[in-house]
Amino acid sequence: MLQGVDYDPIAQFYALNYAHYTDDLEFYARLAEDYGGPVLELGAGTGRVSRAIARRGIEVVALEPSPAMRRLGVEYTQDLPVRWVSGDMRRLEALRPRQAYPLIIAPFNAFMHLYTLEEQDATLSGIAQSLAQGGRLAFDLYNPAHIGPQGVLQHEGDYPGGISVFIHQTHEAAVQSLTTHYLVDQRSSRGTLKRQTFTLTQRYFTRYELERWLRAFGFHFRLFGGFHREPFSAEAPVMAVLAWLG
């Protein structure tokens, strides 16, 4: 059975590694302006997207299961209209207070943490019940056409404090899983090297599997190949979706 990663031990690294990723921010912030708040973000991480929306004066409910990620998120969105909530996107019926949202978002491959058909269906059912009338669901997913070479060590980036990050990936087509192995090296001023490793396994969607999933729960949708609403193609880096109930 596919299993996810425990983000608590790596929350600081996650915040550092993805702080400068901004490709999706305008896409989600503009949708929040169009449909209003409160916006429910599923898998809010350390608040990168929630912060971009809240800085435009729109209320956000940030759902995140990892306590360490939430703590960093609270700091990152301090003095902004963001309410952090401990919870699981697979059990949205447990959210309190119960309310309807004009916009629900799941940025940055959040749905790739749904590892079984049952988890996927429970999540989308909960979303359908949580959307306000006329509301929208927006999310993006990795395009599996871009799965890179397996086992090849790649340099991901360098960061302050003598930190270098390397990754290599493995792909299991039979279960549609992509496992990324992170190697985080930190070199001290004395030249000593400390290495931390962790593994992230995600379950990807294919295009028509995704479309069937949405239709099964009564959603109409538009599928884009980028955050500027480009047409989807095999070359597109992401599958960006805007969906609504018919």
Helix (H) or strand (E) holding 54: helix 48-54
Give tens-digit pLDDT for 127-174. 999 999 999 999 999 999 988 788 889 998 888 888 898 989 999 999
User: Residue 74 is part of a domain; what is its CATH number?
Assistant: 3.40.50.150
Give the mean model confidence (pLDDT) for residues 207-233: 98
Q: Is residue 3 part of a domain?
A: no
Q: Is residue 151 part of a domain?
A: yes
The sheet with strand 219-224 has its strands ordered as 82-85, 60-63, 39-42, 101-106, 131-142, 238-245, 219-224
Same domain, 192 and 229: no
Percent of the residues in the chain that have a pLDDT greater than 70, as a whole number: 98
Residue bearing the bigger pLDDT, 234 or 4: 234
Same domain, 199 and 232: no
Same domain, 217 and 192: no
What pLDDT score was predicted for residue 162? Answer: 87
| Residue (of 90, 80, 75) closest to 45 by Cα position | 75
User: Residue 187 is part of a domain; what is its CATH number?
Assistant: 2.20.25
Residue bearing the bigger pLDDT, 13 or 57: 57
- Please give the distance of CA 237 from its chain centroid, rounded to a whole number: 15
Same domain, 29 and 95: yes
Q: Is residue 185 part of a domain?
A: yes
The range of the structural domain enclosing residue 154 comes to: 146-203
